[in-house]
Structure 1
Amino acid sequence: MTEPSETLLAPLRDAEPATPPAYDLDRAIRDGRRNISRRNLLVGSAAAAVLVAAGGAVGTLRPPTGSMPVAWMGPRGAAGAATDPATLTFRLAWSPATPVVDVSTSEYGQRTQHIEIGSDSHYRVAAEVGMYARGAGWRDPLITTDTPLYGQPGRTGMPDGEPGPTIGGQRSVWLSKSASGASVVWPWSPGAYAVAAARTAEMVERLVNGIRLVNEPVRAPFTAPRPPVALKLRETSVTHGPGETYAASLAFSDRADLAEPGKSWARMVRYDVIRDARRDNAGSDKIPAPTSIVDGHPAHVAFANGGELAWLFDVDGFLVEVGAWDPASLRLLGGAGAVLRTARRIRPVASPDKQSSWLPPLS
């Protein structure tokens, strides 16, 4: 689950208020993504900090239904297990109504966030559920800033704290339970942990009771080429905003942690596809102005820090961006020119505004 310069939703954190007062998710997605932060690689904030409103009490919770297969990938550091980033492992039968929903998957698990937009155009996480792979702890290592580098498990084992309700026959612990919000952690399977957080303990109860474990492919509004085998799919993120606003991203790397060894920058190839029919940068200082025409689309190709970025504008109503963020990833993708060649092969589905038409993006 990454956010190399902030995955599809993280820019909401820094978006300037729109004028007149309104919220432009597309703009926020685009305008905040350039500053790479390797360890702030996932949208939103930690579950224990999802504190937005008043708290309350909760009783014994029913266990999640279904079963979630954990795909063992062999030893990889101390993590030991991984989930498939191309597969959803749970859905929520209940969630609060919010204008933005982000679902992110990685080898460490899945996280679903329901996000509110404040009057200042900054987002607040109203509810969150994360279910993590065996050995990955109860926070994704990629977004836990106080854990070791390079994908080592973070916060393994049950934390100390106020005992929470019994969930699926297992004890839980309240990470927080106050007037500012509530969050709970529990082992949903031996060695595998889950976290649910919301404004109140009652909402946490409804979230947990609404977890439905599934085994189905991540779907996106586009299809794209698979990169060379050394670049493995490490993350996906699909974001829905108000109205027909949506975006999706895929991240690939030869490293499970998506990080350059010993450095603070990302090591990856990313595909970003955003519902946006613009044909220029519309005055944005975050998106370059087109400098050429490629296949009839305004385009821009840039080279920086040994990597390569390509933008194609108005590809059937989408802004397509492909980036090789570092020299090693660009080399694995195919060298100079490979980024633009890849971007030209990304195709929106026939009816992207109908989610039923979405496809596994690498099919």
Structure 2
Amino acid sequence: MLDERHIGDLMLTEIESAERPSEVLDVRRAMRTARRQRRLAHGAGAALLAVALTVGGLTVPDLLTPDRSPAPAPVGTAAGKGRTGLPAALTTVDPQRVYVRFGWLPDGLRNLQYQAGLLLSGPGVYLSASNAPGSGQWKGVAVTLYPKGLQPPAPQRDSGEPAQPGKTTPGPELNGGTSTFASYSGAEQPEAILRWRYAPDGWAQLKVVGVGADVRSTAAQVGRALRFGDEPTPMPATVVGVPESLQVITVDVQESLDEPHDWYASTTWAPRSSTGDPGQQRARTMTVSVSRYRNITDPTDNRYVAPNTTVAGHPARFGGQNGNESLTVYDVNGANVTIDDSALLPTGGTRALFPTVTLVPEPASWRTHLGR
């Protein structure tokens, strides 16, 4: 059980996900904490989000209006001579679309993550590649796409000290135009922050931390190879039983390229909101997450969770209080299915929703779009 101090620490770390890649939502830890995610989104999460948006100076557009920017060429189209990007800045971020992929990465980055929609730092798109967890300081590459009207904020430092801007220098040609290397005080490791417009009125930021002999050279190479587009995000399951009063606000996909192969994918819903207020949208959520099943039999392993019931003949873990419910069903044809609900479903709603979750064939061998 997480105490309040630990929850606060986790939330503060996640808030930085648009400025630095997440150390909380790595693949293996995500699988261990899937059932805790809804609790983290309550109370402290909404308040911390509001603080983060205020500090970052972000004005949040209507994230979930039906209008979207014109669709560009399919993802995977080769970038030509420094020209990468979308034809128009994102006025809304569709959580269920892939807008950017890596075309090249330096060696050693084995954990991949893609998030879109309403992130804890505000609306946007986040793509990262990092080293294996538990190997010391975080090192990796992170790309953030900001909707029209938003600009990249200063990075947040582990020390809590404000990062002071330093000298800017020209970067490589990207999207047919100029880019800029920004510098800030307080970096704990070699750091490169590259900014450019992925579309008119749309800012992109690429951050490289501790990767390669020359982080700026690494950033330029990653930036030139990025592939932009607009296509549905492949997911390991479909869900047809979600109430019409709820709408998708965030999709999170993660994959480890190490063996044993792990992956995690989640979709988060919230009540439909006419105001588009992020704190309100994240205050009460319902998430369905799927991960590859691992048979952990050692009770001393922190990934071990003892089932306390069965659902559809599968071992499961069920809990909750005050209308909140969390249900994890293990080894459903090689996958774990977790449903976390913040009192948006009727009593017993997680059990009722589970039969409407349809997994892809042979989910144990499923791969995300990130490692392809």
Tell me what 1:345 maps to. 356
Alpha-carbon offset, residue 176 of structure 1: 2.8
Q: Is the contact made by 1:351 and 1:357 (CA closer than 8 Å) also made in structure 2?
A: no
- Whole-Å Cα distance in 1 between the matches of residues 263 and 368 of structure 2? 14
Contact 1:279 1:314 in 2 (8 A): no
Q: CA deviation at 1:234?
A: 1.0
Correspondence for 1:312: 329
Contact 1:31 1:284 (C-alpha < 8 Å) held by counterparts: no
- Residues 21-47 of structure 1 show CA distances to partners (whole Å, capped at 9, x for unaligned) of xxx953x22334536162778xxxxxx
Cα deviations by residue, 1:75-126 (Å, 9 ceiling, x for unpaired): xxxxxx31211111122211223121111111533211001025x4566241
Deviation of the 1:344 alpha carbon: 3.0
Match of residue 248, structure 2, among 233, 254, 266? 233
Does the alignment pair 1:206 with 2:221? yes
Measured against aligned partners, the alpha-carbon deviations of 1:320-339 in whole angstroms (never above 9, x if no partner) come to 110112x3xx2xx3x11111
Structure 1, unaligned runs of 5 or more:
16-23, 42-60, 72-80, 146-158, 359-363
Structure 1 window deviating more from structure 2 (226-235 vs 211-220): it is 226-235
Q: Give percent identity, aligned residues only.
A: 20
Change (3 A) 1:14 1:218: closer
State how far apart, in whole Å, the 1-side matches of 2:327 and 2:298 are: 13
Which letter does structure 1 place at the counterpart of 2:279? A
Output the CA distance in 2 between the equivalents of 1:307 and 1:6. Answer: 24
The aligned residue for residue 239 of structure 2 is 224
Deviation at 1:14, TM superposition (A): 6.4
Contact 1:280 1:313 survives alignment (8 Å): no
- Write the mapping of 1:110-125 to structure 2, written as runs, cut at 5 A: 110-117=125-132, 120-121=134-135, 124-125=138-139
Shift of the 70–305 alpha-carbon distance from structure 1 to 2, 3 Å rule, reads farther
1:31-180 matched pairs, under 5 angstroms: 31-32=32-33, 34=36, 36=40, 38=45, 63-65=82-84, 67-68=86-87, 81-97=91-107, 98-106=109-117, 108-117=123-132, 120-121=134-135, 124-138=138-152, 161-165=167-171, 166-176=173-183, 180=190
Which amino acid in the other structure matches residue 259 of structure 1?
A: G
Pairing 1:184–2:194 present: yes
The number of residues matched between the two structures is: 293
| Whole-angstrom CA distance in 2 between matches of 1:30 and 1:222 | 16
Q: Secondary structure at the match of 1:249?
A: strand
With structure 2 as the length reference, what TM-score do the two structures score? 0.66
Counterpart Cα distance in 2 of 1:258 and 1:284: 36
- Any unmatched runs of 5+ in structure 2? 1-9, 50-79, 158-164
- Give the TM-score of the pair, scaled to structure 1: 0.67
Q: Compared with structure 1, are the counterparts of its residues 281 and 319 closer, same or farther at alpha carbon in structure 2 (3 Å cutoff)?
A: farther
2:326 aligned partner, one-letter code: L
Matched, 1:291 2:308: yes
Are residues 127 and 12 of structure 1, via their aligned partners in 2, closer, same or farther at CA, if it must alter by over 3 Å?
closer
Counterpart of 1:273 in structure 2 is: 290
Specify the code of the residue in structure 2 equivalent to 1:324.
D
Letter in 1 for 2:362: S
- Asked if the contact 2:89–2:199 (Cα under 8 Å) also holds between the matched residues in 1, the reply is no
SS of the residue corresponding to residue 130 of structure 1 reads strand
> In structure 2, do the counterparts of structure 1 residues 137 and 187 end up closer, same or farther at CA, with 3 Å as the change threshold?
same
8 Å Cα contact 1:275-1:318 kept in structure 2: yes
Write the deviation string for residues 118-154 of structure 1: whole angstroms up to 9, x where unpaired: 5x456624111112221233369xx989xxxxxxxxx
1:150 aligned residue: none
How has the CA–CA distance of structure 1 residues 218 and 322 changed in structure 2, closer, same or farther, with 3 Å as cutoff? same
Segment drifting more, 170-179 vs 98-107: 170-179
1:234–1:6 Cα change, 3 Å:
farther
**Distance in structure 1 (CA, Å) of the matches to 2:294 and 2:317:** 15
User: Structure 1 pair 294/67, CA: closer, same or farther in 2 (3 Å)?
Assistant: same
Q: 1:344 to 1:240 in 2, by over 3 A?
A: same
CA pair 280-353 structure 1, distance change in 2 beyond 3 A: closer
Cα distance in 2 for partners of 1:229, 1:144 equals 38
CA distance in 2 between partners of 1:250 and 1:92 (Å):
22
Aligned-residue offset at 1:67? 2.9
Q: CA RMSD in A?
A: 3.9
- Secondary structure in 2 aligned to 1:259? helix
- Listed one character per residue, the Cα deviations across residues 298-346 of structure 1 (whole Å, up to 9, x for unaligned) are 1222123431111111111212110112x3xx2xx3x111112222332
Is the Cα contact below 8 Å between 2:103 and 2:227 reproduced in 1?
Answer: yes
Q: Measure the CA separation in 1 of the matches of 2:12 and 2:197.
A: 32
Could you say which structure has the higher helix fraction? 2
Which amino acid in 2 is paired with 1:130? Answer: T
SS at match of 1:342: helix
CA 1:281/1:84 → structure 2, altered by over 3 Å: closer, same or farther? farther
Distance (Å, rounded) in 1 between the aligned partners of 2:181 and 2:263: 33
- Shift, 1:216, TM fit: 1.1
Asked if the contact 2:253–2:368 (Cα under 8 Å) also holds between the matched residues in 1, the reply is no
